């Protein structure tokens, strides 16, 4: 096993070997979800704290289920119920949690680098569950687990990511992980949603039109349009966005015949993806959710099962 | 270590003979062969279980279900292991309720692996009984566990290394004892 880090903060600095060993490990955890008794004792007596300073249902639930299936004690702390609303600083909150001796902290925060800062400060292991628009490593890794169920994830594979790339940590973590494995990634978005810093990544192609991005691709990944950002005028109207960038059946026909369709959720049906495609036979969106639990079990086990030196 | 320091206990032909005897004993002891299932402990226990399945199929004309079990998540030393053991795939594609499980492993030593395997099996269902078949019993138990079917007993001290090699993973069958370096 070649994963010996204290924390999982992003995919950007992971080696191909580390990524592969995480994916391989997740494969072994899939089967636990099919057992009548979905629990193994591996992390008995360990405490996992889900520290969510941003709203989240899917990711938090997924981490919570993963921790509980490993027999860890999972505790949830979300911003709305926390002392943050009473004015406590982030570091004070973290110090207080650290004083309760958790083994793993799963952190989501709207600031880039929040998980990194916390990881430096605490002895507990830290998993970044999303820091601003920077990284969301477990989402990218579960996406790769899902891709590997259908495709060989490596050189020769082409993935199109379409949507608000600039504000998407899911896109960034996927881009880093996929390009590290030699996958070709095409990104496509309205110019206001295209990040500038990604230009020089080898294996990354920026496409102006979705038709260009979709042409013959093996995997289509649609990103959620954050309707709450619409007041920032990143695109003229939701209807225009849906018309130009939305994934419908006609556009999907441009992709390879056996292409799969992914979406990290939550979906805006009728905006970035039509219901016909989202519920169609090529969508693997719910497989992504199932694989998320297995991948997060693998991550928690690899971090939390390690003896402390 | 050089190969000549190895003390070979059994050669390939011996291993095959031993497995035939164990298969015979399993069938002899369990009159309800239809209730038998084989579960091998990864990795070499699975290879041995697969061979027992073949032998029982040939001699008793019974095709027993075969499962594989990874016990990593049930180990009692996870908290002190300094680096991570690899978790491999457990595959038990049949119900364990009411059946007789023949648990198969290559070497029985401290008994801790078998303890972990039994805990894991019981999480899958409620077998009517679990019986243990091992190719080598090397003694030095740390838990009150005994095998029902033993290929060879090799009394060895904790300073010795008892190795079972099987064709499926190693290219040849051999049981050896050598000093631990």
Question: Does the CB of B24 have a partner CB in chain A at under 8 Å?
Answer: no
What would the mean pLDDT of B4-14 be, rounded to a whole number? 76
Query: Is A306 within 8 Å of B70 when comparing Cβ atoms?
Result: no
pTM (two decimals): 0.91
Residues of B in contact with A4 (CB under 8 A): 83-84
> Which of B87, B119, B120 is opposite residue A301, by nearest beta carbon?
B87
Contacts of A188 (CB under 8 A, 6+ apart): A160, A161, A162, A206, A207, A208, A209, A210, A212, A213, A245
For residues A31 and B91, give the distance between their C-alpha atoms in angstroms, rounded to a whole number. 8
Tokens of B108: 């029985």
Give every residue of chain A whose pLDDT is below 70, as ranges: 1-2, 80-85, 229-233, 306-309
Higher pLDDT among residues B119 and B6, named by residue: B119
Which DSSP string do the residues of B76-96 spell out, in sequence order? S-TTT-SSPPPP---B--S--
Query: Is A25 within 8 Å of B86 when comparing Cβ atoms?
Result: yes
Each residue's pLDDT tens digit, A89-147 = 888 889 999 999 999 999 999 999 999 999 999 999 999 999 999 999 999 999 999 99
The CATH number of domain A150-283 is 3.40.50.720: no
Question: Does the CB of A34 have a partner CB in chain B at under 8 Å?
Answer: no
Residues of B in contact with A35 (CB under 8 A): 123-124
Residue boundaries of the structural domains of chain A: 16-135+290-304, 150-283
Question: Does the CB of B30 have a partner CB in chain A at under 8 Å?
Answer: no
For an interface test with A, which of B75, B79, B81, B96 has the most A Cβ atoms less than 10 Å from its Cβ? B79
Residues of B in contact with A295 (CB under 8 A): none
> Which of B73, B80, B84 is opposite residue A41, by nearest beta carbon?
B73
> Which of A36, A40, A307 is opposite residue B73, by nearest beta carbon?
A40
Residues of A in contact with B127 (CB under 8 A): none
Query: Is A35 within 8 Å of B123 when comparing Cβ atoms?
Result: yes
Query: Is A28 within 8 Å of B90 when comparing Cβ atoms?
Result: yes
Domain boundaries A16-135+290-304, CATH class? alpha beta
Which residues of A have a catalytic role annotated? 58-59, 86, 108, 136
Residues of B in contact with A298 (CB under 8 A): 87
Question: Does the CB of B82 have a partner CB in chain A at under 8 Å?
Answer: yes
pLDDT at A230 (0 to 100)? 61
pLDDT at B1 (0 to 100)? 42
What would the mean pLDDT of B171-179 be, rounded to a whole number? 91
pLDDT at A129 (0 to 100)? 97
Which DSSP string do the residues of B22-88 spell out, in sequence order? HHHHHHHH-S-GGGEEEEEETTHHHHHHHHHHHHHHHHH-----EEEE--GGG-S-TTT-SSPPPP-
How many residues does this entry show for chain A?
309
CA distances from B63 to B36, B51, B52, B54, B125 (A): 10, 12, 10, 8, 21
Asked whether this chain's domains A16-135+290-304 and A150-283 adopt the same fold, the reply is yes
pLDDT at A201 (0 to 100)? 87
What percent of chain B is predicted at pLDDT more than 90?
79
Asked if residue A11 lies in contact with residue A173, where contact means CB atoms within 8 angstroms, the answer is yes
User: Residue B4 above 80 pLDDT?
Assistant: no
Query: Is B80 within 8 Å of A307 when comparing Cβ atoms?
Result: yes
Residues of A in contact with B86 (CB under 8 A): 1, 25
What domains appear along chain B, each with residue ranges and CATH number?
A: 13-156 (3.40.50.2020)
Which residues 61-120 on chain A approach chain B with CB closer than 8 angstroms?
70
Q: Strand pairing partners for B138?
A: none
What percent of chain B is predicted at pLDDT more than 70?
93
Query: Is B84 within 8 Å of A302 when comparing Cβ atoms?
Result: yes
Each residue's pLDDT tens digit, B134-166 = 999 999 999 999 999 999 999 999 999 999 999
Asked if residue B102 lies in contact with residue B57, where contact means CB atoms within 8 angstroms, the answer is no
pLDDT at B6 (0 to 100)? 66
Nearest CA in chain A to B73: A42
* Whole-number average pLDDT of chain B: 91
> Which of A3, A29, A40 is opposite residue B74, by nearest beta carbon?
A40
- Minimal CA separation from A19 to chain B, in Å: 14
- Minimal CA separation from B75 to chain A, in Å: 7
For residues B106 and B49, give the distance between their C-alpha atoms in angstroms, rounded to a whole number. 10
Query: Is B84 within 8 Å of A37 when comparing Cβ atoms?
Result: no
């Amino acid at each position: 096993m070649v994963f010996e880090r204290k924390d999982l903060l992003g995919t950007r600095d992971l080696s191909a070997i580390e990524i592969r060993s995480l994916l391989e490990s997740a494969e072994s955890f899939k089967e636990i979800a099919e057992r009548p008794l979905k629990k193994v004792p591996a992390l008995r007596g360990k405490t996992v704290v889900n520290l969510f300073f941003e709203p989240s249902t899917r990711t938090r639930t997924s981490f919570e289920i993963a921790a509980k299936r490993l027999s860890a004690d999972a505790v949830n702390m979300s911003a709305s119920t926390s002392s943050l609303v009473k004015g406590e600083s982030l570091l004070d909150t973290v110090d207080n949690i650290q004083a309760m001796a958790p083994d793993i902290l799963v952190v989501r925060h709207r600031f880039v680098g929040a998980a990194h800062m916390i990881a430096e400060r605490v002895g507990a292991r830290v998993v970044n569950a999303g820091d601003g628009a920077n990284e969301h490593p477990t989402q990218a890794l579960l996406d790769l687990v899902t891709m590997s169920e259908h495709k060989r994830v490596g050189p020769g594979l082409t993935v199109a990511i379409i949507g608000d790339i600039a504000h998407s940590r899911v896109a960034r973590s996927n881009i880093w992980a996929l390009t590290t494995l030699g996958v070709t990634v095409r990104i496509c978005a309205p110019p206001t949603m295209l990040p500038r810093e990604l230009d020089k990544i080898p294996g990354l192609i920026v496409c102006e039109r979705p038709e260009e991005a979709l042409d013959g691709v093996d995997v289509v990944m649609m990103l959620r349009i954050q309707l709450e950002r619409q007041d920032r005028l990143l695109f003229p109207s939701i209807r225009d966005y849906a018309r130009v960038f939305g994934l419908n059946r006609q556009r999907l026909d441009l992709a390879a015949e056996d292409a799969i369709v992914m979406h990290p959720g939550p979906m805006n049906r009728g905006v970035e993806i039509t219901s016909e495609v989202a519920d169609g036979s090529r969508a693997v969106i719910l497989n992504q959710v199932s694989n998320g639990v297995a991948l997060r079990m693998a991550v928690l086990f690899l971090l939390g099962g390690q003896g402390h030196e | 270590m050089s190969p000549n320091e190895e003390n070979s206990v059994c050669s390939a032909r011996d291993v095959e003979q031993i497995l035939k005897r164990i298969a015979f004993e399993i069938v002899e002891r369990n009159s309800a062969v239809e209730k038998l299932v084989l579960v091998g402990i990864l990795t070499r226990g699975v290879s041995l279980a697969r061979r027992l399945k073949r032998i029982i199929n040939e001699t008793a004309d019974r095709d027993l279900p075969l499962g594989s079990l990874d016990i990593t998540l049930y180990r009692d030393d996870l908290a002190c292991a300094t680096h991570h053991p690899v978790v491999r795939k457990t595959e038990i594609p049949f119900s364990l309720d009411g059946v007789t499980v023949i648990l198969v492993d290559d070497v029985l030593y401290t008994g801790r692996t078998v303890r972990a395997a039994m805990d894991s099996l019981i999480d899958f269902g409620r077998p009517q009984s679990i019986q243990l078949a091992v190719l080598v019993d090397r003694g030095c138990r740390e838990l009150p566990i005994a095998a029902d079917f033993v290929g060879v007993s090799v009394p060895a001290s904790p300073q010795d290394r008892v190795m079972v090699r099987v064709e499926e993973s190693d290219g040849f069958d051999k049981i050896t004892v050598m000093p631990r370096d």
